[in-house]
Structure 1
Amino acid sequence: MLAPFLIMLREGLEAALIVGIIASYLRQTGRTQWLPAVWVGVLLAIALSLFAGAAVLLAGREFPQQMQELFEAIVGLVAVVVLSWMVFWMRGAARSIKAQLYDSMDAAFAHESRTGTGATWALVGMAFFAVAREGLESVFFLLAIFQQSSSSAVPLGALAGVGVAVLLGIGIYYGGIRLDLRRFFRWTGIFILFVAAGLLASVLRNLHEAGIWNLLQTRVFDWSEVLPNASVAGTVLSGLLGYHESPTRGELLAWLLYLVPALVLFLRPHASAAPAPQQQPQSAGASADAQ
């Protein structure tokens, strides 16, 4: 439950921050009549994410056993890619995302003043793509997790994460809640890299069960009697570190070859750069300066 909760909390908070910046800017500049366009974009993105998740889930159920294992491996690999991209994208983009959004909105309203059109679709598009990106990333992650565990704690944890993210986003927008976003995204980023490493190891497991990967199948250790996956501690370690009670050499190697370089790259200091100029006064709460 912990892994889906924290990842959906992070995904939801990223989307909430971007939507909050857009909505806060409209409120600051006296353009609150444009807010419905933002909510239309959000609702369309949620609908797309739900439809994509249902379509992928139904497609996977139609395959025979070996093909289903291959399908699960593909979904797991996509989840590793999108989780990694999410972590490193936010690490690099957080410093300038507010200025970029302000520039985009200023350009849209300038076009609106000249031609009478453009602002509505621009706002719908910005909100749609912000939420859709996080939603589609979440779809593949949750599918990969659901394939590993059928426990009801997984969807409950995911829903709890989304719920908390929405509440935090509302609190940040109205200025009632302040978070150390830099520290939040740093620690959740480290956690997500561990989750992605565990998913990558499970991809090799699925490929072996599909009859595609048969190398490095010697068991490194077998802790099924001491610390089984089904135990409380095993479940927690599986969610946090990608633990498996009896990993093969290939799975352990994939875990290490992904995790070590990813952590080194993620934790390296940022190159010094001049701060981006502020075009508008910062709102009381909706700050996306996460790094």
Structure 2
Amino acid sequence: MHPAFSVILFTTASGAGYGLLLWFALCSLAAPDWIDRPLALTTLLFGLALVSAGLGSSTLHLGRPERAWRALSQWRTSWLSREGVAAIAAYVPAGLLALAWIVWPRPGGVAILPALLMIPAALATTYCTAMIYASLKTVRQWRNRFTVPNYYALGLFTGALLFAAILRLFGRETVAVDIAVLVVGAATLALKLAYWRSIEGRGASTAESATGLGGFGTVRLFEAPHTEENYLMREMGFSIARKHAAKLRRLCLAALFGAPLLLTLIALLAGGWIAGFAAVLAVISAGAGVLVERWLFFAEATHVVTLFYGARAA
């Protein structure tokens, strides 16, 4: 599949934004003494900015972006529509939480309900985003039991890295958050490796299986359906060489997992300005790594329509 940058930005920025908002909500419920007004507003506004940037970029991939609002009416049948509805609904608890911190230096019990609502709102929106891809039977790499868990894990991991960096920049020594980053990062790495193993050619459709003529021998394309490249060939027929995919996977592992986890461990052990510097570097590295991971998520996906254009497997 063609890895459009607008969709890559959508899935990475919104995932990190919802992850950040979720971690802030959990922290405000479990350890409100860690948080003051500047920290709260910085975290909430940054999380909402990421979510808004992601959602805004998603409309750029539409043929008529000005009609994006119409997609909201199809929530009964479309995961894309459900994602839009859930995303708009998630602004309510996030906005109320920000308002509470604007009005009161320490909102206390006033912030409890919005924080409680923020958690399921972030989880529901992330689930809908993942199901946009996991619901497609025509793309076996997405119709996969690891797709939804990977979306959750990546959002939680990148959100935790952002939250740890913000806490460090505000002078908070938060061992618990660093430990959460390490645990969630290790789980995300395990899920990513399991996903890559699961898509390695197993269960692929072929021209023989698609036509049911495999018993007669090899099925070959007699005549191309088009003489020139068309939309389907550009969007669905994108392919990446195995050797390039392997290199990008190694880059992803190093940038998204290796460096951030090592830098988080350094921050945990060192403390002080070194911890803050390491936390910021971890966010930068993970940001680059998750862009590579999302690019691969689309580039390695194969649509069954490509069999009609001569592909051997999809």
Scaled by the length of structure 2, what TM-score is found?
0.31
Higher relative contact order (CA 8 A, sep 6+): 1
Scaled by the length of structure 1, what TM-score is found?
0.33
